[in-house]
Amino acid sequence: MFLEAIALSEAEWQAIILSLKIAGSAVGWILVPGIAVAWLLARHEFRGKALLDGLLHLPLVLPPVVVGYLLLLSLGRNGWLGQWLYQGFGFSLPFTWQGAAIAGGVMAFPLLVRAVRLSLEAVDPKLEAAAGTLGANRWRVLFTITLPLAVPGLLTGTVLAFARALSEFGATITFASNIPGETRTLPLALYTLIQTPGKEAAAARLCVLSIVIAMLSLMASEWLARRARQRLQERDR
Amino acid sequence: MSEPSLERNHALDCRLQKRLGEFDLDISLAVPASGVTALFGQSGSGKTSLLRLIAGLDRPDAGYVRLGERTLTDVAGRTQVPVHKRQLGIVFQEARLFPHYRVRGNLTYGMPPSARSRFDDLVTLLGIGHLLERLPGTLSGGEARRVAIGRALLTHPRLLLLDEPLTGLDGERKQELLRYLVRLTREIDIPVVYVSHDTAEIATIADHLALVEQGRLTAHGQLDELMMRLDLTDRLGGFDAATRLSAKVVDHDSVYSLTRVALDDGQTLRIPAVDQPPGTPVRLRVGVRDVALAHAMPEGTSYRNGITTTIEAIEASPQEPSANEVRLRFGEQRLRARLTRQACEEMQLTEGKTAVALIRSVAFDSRI
């Protein structure tokens, strides 16, 4: 009886799987550009740095609906980028799960960059200089010294971004709409249930589910980051 | 101006100018192709800035750096070889080991395949064989620096730059690392630049000296020669000024734990035992306050050593009104003594006269 009561329905499973897929893809596509931008901001001085920094933080302070609308304007079939994508590759993003991943990624980008930048700035530049004197070029220094030492921050940033993409609502519903099985993620499914009279119990279930998934990802990140830190600070064996 | 033929004997040749705020660095330096060159000066004199310019970590306003035939920096010719292509082994004040690599990983980080055969020898020479699987966080200060030195040497550099490698170590650790460094610099065949502000350290390890003061090179040459210059006394040791003597081990007296060494003119000294076979060259440091003078070797004295010398110069001590600095010659070598003016006058010491230099055996530090 009890097990049946907490067993997930097909629609719920669908929403969970879809949410994980979209959030995972969102993090996947922003990971490399996010690290690159964070590295640029942490280790370089250049003209327009303040402007870039400001632009990056826009998704944090803009209403998500505005971000979604801007995505629609640029990546929609009539948008400047969307037109090129559609005519060149027959590829259309709005109303698809890929579009939802784009929206989630854009919203999560500043959080990822922030966390990664902080951890990159914490890496001692003297160690990087030492690696240079040992014959390592810039890339080798990045991949053997800077990034490995920034791993705890990288993990935190990734999980933060994942959680942000998972909870994305405004930009997603504006850009990718609310299509069951395609773009109806957990928050959108929850919203739909709230809008439907008599579905309060189902809504509560999704609410609990969201909390469980968020907690799990936070705990996973904490555990991974602690392990990474321990490896860096290992005392005597 | 040095002749082109002379320049070929230089491992490193540089002329560097850089303005750092109020500080103005302008130094020409030639590092001989063999031996240890000490870059010596007070903190803030510009030693480390110079090192960073040579390493390519900073750019000079004007000047050049040449390593043998290769130009590393030339402001006029717009050349600036990046740090990682300079083939310089640099050991920083802090060891700067990579915390996420084990000692072995640190050592091999910049090691080309051609240096692999040197790994075992170097690890033994530096006494770090038992540390290979440890992480840097678990090493003591002296151990970490030995690893850093090994790591730099395993990149097969053409020049080794050591930036105050003993700074921050306590007395015993300092002596230990210094012993390793002395052994190492005898073994390796590349020139070493040793940055320091400690005269005792330099007298132990260096062959040449470049004296840096307020961003300028104020004296440059063989360390033995410079230590003889009375006008540099307050720069090179002051109260603790010293002379260096070269000698060879003759034999050992195991009963009293003494070693007899011969100076180049055949006169001998007794010093506390050194654990080296006969014939080994040793370098002895004699403090100017450890030498007394007599007209002849006295009888019934605790002095174990009396060297017959000729007085070459007598000058008033620049800092001590009661004392004279006396320079003595025997064979090709020279020795300094600091005496009271009173003694000099009573003994009627003058330049050209013969005097016996009395040196206590226990004044020699043979731990290195």
pLDDT digits (tens, 9 = 90+) for B71-91: 999 998 888 999 999 999 999
CA distance B288 to B293: 11
pLDDT band for position B2 (50/70/90)? very low
Average pLDDT of every residue of chain B = 87
Handedness of CA B199, B205, B206, B207 (dihedral sign): positive
Contact (CB<8Å) B84/A235:
no
A–B CB contacts, 8 A cutoff, strictly below: 65
Boundary of a domain, candidates B217, B236, B255: B236
Residues B44 and B191 in one domain: yes
With beta carbons under 8 A apart, name residues in chain A contacting B133. 237
CA distance B9 to B14: 14
Residue B291 has pLDDT above 50, yes or no: yes
Residues B42 and B184 in one domain: yes
Residues B303 and B165 in one domain: no
Closest CA to A34 of A188, A130, A212, A158: A158
Domain boundaries, chain A: 8-232
- B85/chain A closest Cα distance in angstroms: 6
Question: What is the percentage of chain B residues whose pLDDT exceeds 70?
Answer: 97
Residue B220 has pLDDT above 60, yes or no: yes
Looking at residue B44, its pLDDT comes to 84
Looking at residue B223, its pLDDT comes to 86
Structural domain contains residue B368 = no
With beta carbons under 8 A apart, name residues in chain B contacting A126. 92, 94, 96
Interface of B with A (CB under 8 A): 55, 57, 82-90, 92, 94, 96, 98-100, 109-110, 112, 133-135, 137-138, 151-152, 155
Q: Return the residue in B48, B85, B109, B154 with the most chain A beta carbons within 10 A, the one to mutate for interface testing.
A: B109
With beta carbons under 8 A apart, name residues in chain A contacting B110. 131, 134-136
- A47/chain B closest Cα distance in angstroms: 21
Boundary of a domain, candidates B216, B236, B256: B236
Half-sphere exposure of A97 (CA within 13 A, CB side): 17
Q: Which long-range contacts (CB under 8 A, 24 or more apart) does A28-33 make?
A: A29/A101, A29/A102, A29/A105, A30/A105, A30/A106, A30/A108, A30/A109, A30/A112, A30/A161, A31/A112, A31/A158, A33/A109
In our burial notation (b when 16+ CB lie closer than 10 A, e otherwise), range A3-40 reads eeeeeeeebbebbbebbbebbebbbebbbeebbebbbe
With beta carbons under 8 A apart, name residues in chain A contacting B112. 135
CA distance B81 to B98: 24
Amino acid at residue number A198: G
Chain A from 147 to 186: CB within 8 A of any B CB: 148-149
Residue B4 has pLDDT above 50, yes or no: no
Residues B215 and B82 in one domain: yes
Contact (CB<8Å) A131/B109:
yes
Residues B230 and B247 in one domain: no
Contact (CB<8Å) B137/A234:
yes
Tens-place pLDDT, residues B148-162: 999 999 999 999 999
Mean local confidence (pLDDT), B19-30: 89
Chain A from 203 to 232: CB within 8 A of any B CB: 231-232
Does ipTM top 0.85? no
pTM: 0.80
Structural domain that includes position B330: 242-363
Residue B3 has pLDDT above 50, yes or no: no
CATH number at residue B312: 2.40.50.100
| A234 part of contact set with chain B, CB < 8 Å | yes
Residue A235 has pLDDT above 70, yes or no: no
Looking at residue A156, its pLDDT comes to 86
Which of B111-120, B145-154, B322-331 holds the top average pLDDT? B145-154
Q: C-alpha A152: how far from its chain's center? A: 17
Closest residue in chain B to residue A124, using alpha carbons only: B96
Residue B307's DSSP bridge partners are B357
CA distance B352 to B348: 12
In our burial notation (b when 16+ CB lie closer than 10 A, e otherwise), range A60-76 reads eebebeebbbbbbeebb
Beta strand pairing call for B192-196 and B159-163: parallel
Residue A236 has pLDDT above 60, yes or no: no
| Tokens of residue B361, six digits | 């055996």
- B351/chain A closest Cα distance in angstroms: 52
CB atoms within 10 A of CB B315: 12
Q: C-alpha A182: how far from its chain's center? A: 19
| Tokens of residue B264, six digits | 């180049």
Residue B5 has pLDDT above 90, yes or no: no
Contact (CB<8Å) A233/B99:
yes
Boundary of a domain, candidates B236, B266, B287: B236
Task: Give the total number of structural domains in chain B.
Answer: 2
Residue B186 has pLDDT above 90, yes or no: no
Cα B48 to Cα A146, B41, B150, B182, B212: the distances in Å are 25, 10, 21, 22, 11
Residue B235 has pLDDT above 90, yes or no: no
Looking at residue B275, its pLDDT comes to 83
| A139 part of contact set with chain B, CB < 8 Å | no
Report yes or no: B230 and B327 within 8 Å, Cβ to Cβ: yes
Mean local confidence (pLDDT), A68-90: 84
With beta carbons under 8 A apart, name residues in chain B contacting A129. 57, 83, 96
Q: Report the top-level CATH class of A8-232.
A: mainly alpha
Mean local confidence (pLDDT), A66-82: 87
pLDDT band for position A112 (50/70/90)? very high
Compute chain A's Rg from CA coordinates.
Answer: 21
Looking at residue A4, its pLDDT comes to 61
CATH number at residue B123: 3.40.50.300
| A235 part of contact set with chain B, CB < 8 Å | yes
Residue B368 has pLDDT above 80, yes or no: no
Mean local confidence (pLDDT), A5-12: 76
Nearest to B99 among A131, A232, A236 (CB): A232
Return the beta strands (E) in chain B as ranges.
10-20, 23-32, 36-40, 62-67, 70-74, 79-80, 88-91, 159-163, 192-196, 208-213, 216-222, 242-253, 258-262, 268-272, 281-287, 291-294, 305-316, 323-330, 333-340, 354-359
* Helix residue ranges per DSSP H, B15-102: 47-55
- A227/chain B closest Cα distance in angstroms: 13
Q: Return the residue in B52, B88, B98 with the most chain A beta carbons within 10 A, the one to mutate for interface testing.
A: B98
Structural domain contains residue B287 = yes
Closest CA to B200 of B218, B162, B227: B227
DSSP one-letter code for B72: E
CB atoms within 10 A of CB B120: 10
Contact (CB<8Å) B84/A148:
no
CA distance B29 to A164: 59
Residues B331 and B248 in one domain: yes
Residues B127 and B225 in one domain: yes
Report yes or no: B253 and B274 within 8 Å, Cβ to Cβ: no
Contact (CB<8Å) B110/A127:
no
Contact (CB<8Å) A148/B155:
no
Let me know the angle formed at the C-alpha of B238 by B232 and B241, rounded to the nearest 5 degrees.
85
Contact (CB<8Å) B100/A131:
no
Residues B291 and B351 in one domain: yes
Alpha-carbon dihedral B214, B220, B224, B227, rounded to 10 degrees: -30
Residues B163 and B106 in one domain: yes
